[in-house]
Structure 1
Amino acid sequence: MPLHIVNLVAENYKRLVAVDITPDGNIVTLSGRNAQGKSSVLDAIFAALAGGEASRATKQPIRDGQDVAVVRLDLGDYIVTRRWTDDDAGSLTVETPPTADGRKQKYSSPQKLLDELVGKRAFDPLAFTRMSSAEQVATLVATVELPFDPAELDRERAGVFDQRTEINRTVKQLEGQLGGTPKPVDGTPEVEVSAADIIREFDLAREHNAALDNEMRNLELMQSAVEQAKARVAELEAELTRAREAATNRWDDYQAKLVKFEAGPERIDTAEISERLQKVEQTNVAVRAGQEHRRIAAQLAAKREEAARFTLELQAIDKRKSDALAAVKFPVAGLSFDESGVLYNGIPFSQASAAEQLRVSVALAMASNPQLRILQVRDGSLLDSDSMKVLTELAEKNDFQVWVEVVDESGQVGIVIEDGQVKA
């Protein structure tokens, strides 16, 4: 069952002398001039419920000149009484209201019970609007149950982002190198030409041609011998038969070799080989340039692919986060967050209108305290009529009790606190 403050009694707490307040309605307005005790009323509520946290926040809870301070909260189902004294740490009791026969149940672990009731502690909704982006995200995360650890996911993303940044730095360097490396001329071979191979080819061609030249000379000598033989036939009639046979034989041999020579390999043009040999180093320079260009291009392509993989990984992480956030039921529709801070309808919370900021802040405060439905607004004077209307609507709709502190000197607004007491 939701709990509200049915009655508040506080004596000698901070600036308060004695107050007895029985609130009426969802909005409880505390008004008066500055330094009269309005804030002390709100502090008393917090101190009675929060225990050690409140004690650490308040160094001197007892009003000057007094020895004891007491705050008593009637929450309907529970009555909370906290005392502070000068000579000890004070005391806390939580008990049930008396039954018809006057019996009460006192709880043995009162602060534990209050901690369970208070949950994530009621807070000032307007304080949320003044938090830093990181504090707002932390408050929002504490309000809902997330299927992931935002800090761990942010660390994972930062690691991948740093890796991609390093890869892209290398990509930029390689792009610069590739831009300064001339592209290979069309037709340039990919592998350097061997000068030794061309020299060996040139030597073989010269040996081949020398062998053909030698054959030609031999044929010329044979032809000369035939002619001499014919001449001697005329001079040496006696040797005619022998000379004719010799001439015939040589002629046949000559004809056979001539046919073989004419059908044999052609002469090799050594000029073209010589020209290639002269250009081999020029070609190899172009080859090496082409090889370097292809090496850098391949390295650049690999790094670009690696950077693209990291980009996909970043997108996957962002999608995991966005999908997880889409499945989270936030207290306010359209509420989310990213690494920059809390978002409302896709825009930074700080850029939302004042009314939107108030609705979100109040909804978060209400979601934090489903049982003890009490909120405090310490700077109520900053709220205009529209904002007060929004606050009232939310309080009534969600059955919350909102204590609002405002500065007012008319004495006509809400519960007036003057000199630490409720003004009659």
Structure 2
Amino acid sequence: MTLQIVSLKAENYKRLKAVQINPEGNVVFVGGRNAQGKTSVLDAIWAALAGGEASRATQQPIREGQDSAVVRLDLGDYVVTRRWTNDDAGTLTVESADGAKYSSPQKLLDEVIGTRAFDPLAFTRLSAKDQVAALTSLVDLPFDPDELTREAKGVFDTRTEVNRDVKRLEGQLAGFPRADETIPDVEVAAADVVAEFETARQHNARIDELDLRARLAEDDQFRAEDEVGRLERELDAARTFLARAESVVEDLLKQVESAERIDTSEISERLAKVEETNAKVREQVQRRAVADELSIRKERSAQLTVKLNEIEKRKTEGLAAAEFPVGGLSFDSDGVTFNGIAFSQASAAEQLRVSVALAMAANPKLRVLRILDGSLLDSDSLKIISDLASEHSYQVWLEVVGDNGGVGFILEDGSVKEGTA
């Protein structure tokens, strides 16, 4: 079932007095000078069909000085009548072609007529965000664009935080000296080095003591030899002493020869550098910790990038599978696109064709469009609208300033000028 306006009657609505228009053709021109009622004609269509939406947007539906107003639209299968008085916000009745009335007229209009009268030029004046909202309302997408945008923003914000940590850690890592493989992994205990030094010192002291004792024993030996010559009487005792001394000397010398001295200079040097070494150890431990955290953050950033790419892939595949009202039409995070470029960058003719096609897609049953400010359209644009309306069997009500060369319905002081249309 498709509907068009067969007849429009309006009395005392806004600037209108008494108007009856029986449109013919696919383009219905409503002209006239400013403040004569031409806009009121197009508003009457919207007011009759839109219900509360139109009422909230129209502060004074009744012509000044009058007590009531009425708009009646004959849509062929339905007759829609809306009345206003000074005492109410308006009443609505909908009758079928055979005169039967509906108990829930506005619900019927909402279900049967849908989006109602749509101004295709209004789409070109919407913000990029609102254009996307208008487009997605007409397309059955396999995903929720707002939810997907929120998900992508959450991942993007998380990745931003992670990358901020990466930059911070890279700065910290750059402040450390290059890794030194000669530095131990843990700090050196100064007490251990001191103990090692003391053990080596005591060991060397024992060797020195043995060496001293050996030299003293040699002296005893020399004295004993001298005593042998002149102390014959004590020869036995001296020989015994000599033998004992020789044995001691031999033993001590063997100990001296077999003992290996420990070089304490390296230990002393290490002891002096314990704190310096430990400082490097701590620094290297911190460097490894920063490097480990940096690696973790980079991995996390890479994972989030993969997730963002997956989200974008889901969106791309969803858009590829969706059936848009116009070929080449899509959208991205910046707004609606047409043939891969921003809709705002498309030519005026392309924008007009897309906008009209979207308006038609939004009104598959009520094939009526209304265009305010139609005087802004040039002849090429008017031809595009006329061709599209004819091709798709739509009725376009178009407001123009002036008499439009005598074509269409010309409004004067709230009424249709005689001899027009």
Q: TM-score, normalised by structure 1?
A: 0.86
**CA offsets, 1:185-224, max 9 Å, x none?**
5634443333322221121111111212222233334444
Structure 2: distance between partners of 1:97 and 1:228: 154
Residue pairs, 1:341-356, within 5 angstroms: 341-356=335-350
Matches within 5 A, 1:146-161: 146-161=141-156
What's the counterpart of residue 418 of structure 1? 412
Measure, in 2, the Cα distance between the counterparts of 1:193 and 1:68.
Answer: 100
2:388 counterpart of 1:407 = no
Deviation at 1:225, TM superposition (A): 4.2
Shift of 1:275: 2.4
Distance in 2 between the 1:6 and 1:389 partners?
23
Q: Which residue of 2 aligns with 1:200?
A: 195
**Contact kept in structure 1, 2:45 and 2:117, CA below 8 Å:** no
Give 1:344's aligned amino acid: F
Alignment correspondent of 2:137: 142
What CA distance in whole angstroms lies between the structure 2 residues aligned with 1:31 and 1:117? 30
CA distance in 2, matches of 1:205, 1:410: 116
Residue 60 of structure 1 aligns to which amino acid in structure 2?
Answer: Q
- State which of 379, 383, 406 in structure 2 corresponds to 1:385: 379
Q: Is 1:77 paired with 2:73?
A: no
CA distance in 2, matches of 1:259, 1:181: 54
Q: CA deviation at 1:405?
A: 1.4
Which position in structure 2 is the counterpart of 1:6? 6
How far apart are 1:35 and its partner, in Å?
A: 2.4
Q: Match for 2:137: what amino acid?
A: A
1:126 corresponds, among 114, 121, 128, to 121
How many residues in Structure 1 have an aligned counterpart in Structure 2? Answer: 418
How big is the alpha-carbon RMSD for the aligned residues of Structure 1 and Structure 2? Answer: 2.9
> Match of 1:172?
167
Q: One-letter code of the match for 2:306?
A: L
Q: CA deviation at 1:247?
A: 4.5
What residue number does 2:356 align with?
362
C-alpha deviation, 1:368, in angstroms? 1.2
Deviation at 1:141, TM superposition (A): 2.6
Are the structure 2 counterparts of residues 118 and 341 from structure 1 closer, same or farther at C-alpha, using a change threshold of 3 Å?
A: same
Say whether the 8 Å CA contact 1:184–1:286 is kept in structure 2: no
CA change 1:204–1:65 in 2 (3 A) is: closer
Q: Higher mean Cα deviation, 239-248 or 218-227?
A: 239-248
How far, CA to CA, are the matches of 1:287 and 1:337 in structure 2? 56
Work out whether residues 381 and 407 of structure 1, in 8 Å CA contact, stay in contact via their aligned partners in 2.
yes
| Unmatched tracts of structure 2, length 5 or more | none
Structure 1: gaps of 5 or more residues: 99-103
Deviation at 1:374, TM superposition (A): 0.8
Amino acid in the other structure paired with 2:334? S
Q: Measure how far apart 1:28 and its partner are.
A: 1.7
* 1:303 equivalenced with 2:293 (yes/no): no
Letter in 2 for 1:130: R
In the other structure, the counterpart of 1:331 is 325
Report the more deviating stretch, 224-233 or 18-27: 224-233
Instruction: Give, in angstroms, the shift of residue 410 of structure 1.
Output: 5.5
The whole-number CA distance in structure 2 between the counterparts of 1:274 and 1:92 is 106
Equivalent in the alignment of 1:209: 204
Partner of 1:94: 94
The corresponding residue for 2:58 is 58
**What is the one-letter code of the residue matched to 1:304?**
K
- Gap change, CA 1:184 and 1:54, over 3 Å in 2: closer
Task: Give the 3-state SS of the residue equivalent to 2:406 in structure 1.
Answer: coil
Equivalent in the alignment of 1:101: none
Tell me the amino acid that sits aligned with residue 49 of structure 1. L
State how far apart, in whole Å, the 1-side matches of 2:338 and 2:194 are.
80
| Partner of residue 317 from structure 1, selected from 294, 300, 311 | 311
Residue number among 133, 149, 157 corresponding to 1:162 in the alignment: 157
SS at 2:274's partner residue? helix
Structure 2 CA distance for partners of 1:365 and 1:240, relative to 1, 3 Å: same
Residue 38 (structure 2) pairs with residue 33 (structure 1):
no
Kindly provide the amino acid, as one letter, of the partner of residue 123 in structure 1: F
Letter aligned with residue 363 of structure 1: A
Q: What amino acid does structure 2 have at the position aligned with 1:276?
A: R
CA gap 1:186/1:10 in 2 versus in 1, 3 angstroms: same
Select 1:397's aligned residue among 380, 387, 391: 391
What amino acid does structure 2 have at the position aligned with 1:52? G
Give the 3-state SS of the residue equivalent to 2:137 in structure 1: helix
